[in-house]
Amino acid sequence: MAPHLHTARKLFWILMNSLLRFTFMFVNNCVAIPSYCLYLLVLQPLRVVDAPTFWYIEGVMFRWLLAMVASWGWCAGYTVTEWGDDVRPMSEDEAMVIVNHQSTGDVCTLMMCLQDKGTVVRKMMWLMDHVFKYTNFGVVSLIHGDFFIRQGKAHREKQLVYLKDHLDKYYYSRDRKWIVLFPEGGFLRKRRETSQSFAKKKDLPYLTHVTLPRLGATEIILKTLGPQQENGILGTEGNPPGQSIKAKGLQWVIDMTIAYPNARPMDIQTWIFGYRDPTVTHVHYRDSAFRMGVGRSLHQPGTVNKNVLEGEFVPLCDGTMRRSSLVDLRPLDWDVDS
């Protein structure tokens, strides 16, 4: 009888806690998101007169909203431990951030761990699945200038054209620095079987905790935002006197790996209702300086670069973790059905 009573009490507490959390977050969203939209509506004249100041204010409010979402996990005991390279010194540089994708909770995890990275959050651009456009946060991302991409072979070519137009229109005009994407193209549980089948067919490593990336969006980003070479000079070096300084283009590729305990991804429902026990999610960073050599190898159709194609999480003797990576470049046929 006692064990059943204990179980009933625990279940009752979980249900009450979930109900209270949901109510709080519902009210939170009903206040914060309309406030964000209304403030920016009122500030539209400032956008015409002084666009940089307008987007600075928008970025500050955008960061507050992401901090609000991060706090939902923090107050439930969901925290992040970070490993690898220190990426904070790159917060003012332009960088492409590639992240493995396991569940909807990955975005919330990023919102939490990037809060202390200088101006990154307010100056970042997200690439995410078009489904997120129809969530409560979709209108915020639309205003901020994030890009929603449709998955599937039928939409692939058209979406890449839309992505290039979007980058040309919004990236530099809104002073964006980091662009975040999930090159695996979907959740691990949905892509793993296809990835393993493709790996077997092409004699690639058999991956369990990550999948082979789709390089279409990555290629467009590198071509559009990578360092532009003019007269043998990259970036802003050697600008003639009297000419305005040009953007340097991407300077870093930052590889982020999210690892959940016992390989149990945390989804957005868990983040909202908080019914799982306190959990520590591990995030590993590895940075690579952008060089024209990296850009060229990624621009070649059907090429896998060691800085993008990642292997398994492997434990090190000091207790930390890293991912093994492919060292060689292999020509591949990436025309795979989604």
**pLDDT tens-digit profile of 30-53?**
999 999 999 999 999 999 999 999
For the segment 253-274, the average pLDDT, to the nearest whole number, is 88
More confident residue, 211 or 25: 25
CA 246 vs. chain centroid, Å, equals: 26
For the segment 140-163, the average pLDDT, to the nearest whole number, is 87
Pick the CATH number of 2-229+247-325 from 3.40.1130, 1.10.10, 3.40.50, 1.10.287: 3.40.1130
Residue 103 is predicted with a pLDDT of 84
Which ranges constitute the DSSP H helices of the chain? 2-42, 44-49, 51-74, 105-113, 138-144, 156-166, 188-201, 216-225, 268-273, 292-299
Of the listed ranges 56-70, 89-103, 284-298, 314-328, the one predicted with least confidence: 314-328
Stated pTM of the model: 0.77
DSSP 277: P
pLDDT tens digits, residue range 210-255? 887 877 888 889 888 887 654 444 443 443 333 334 467 888 889 9
Residue 2 is predicted with a pLDDT of 62
Of the listed ranges 58-62, 198-202, 292-296, the one predicted with least confidence: 292-296
Residue 247 is predicted with a pLDDT of 62
| Calpha distance 190→320 (Å, rounded) | 28
Residue 41 is predicted with a pLDDT of 95
Q: Name the nearest CA neighbour of 318 among 145, 84, 93, 77.
A: 84
Residue 169 is predicted with a pLDDT of 93
Of the listed ranges 8-12, 190-194, 307-311, the one predicted with least confidence: 307-311
More confident residue, 306 or 210: 210
| Calpha distance 333→202 (Å, rounded) | 9
Q: What DSSP element (H or E) covers 6?
A: helix 2-42
Residue 319 is predicted with a pLDDT of 35
Residue 196 is predicted with a pLDDT of 81
pLDDT band at 67 (very low <50, low <70, confident <90, very high): very high
Q: What DSSP element (H or E) covers 60?
A: helix 51-74
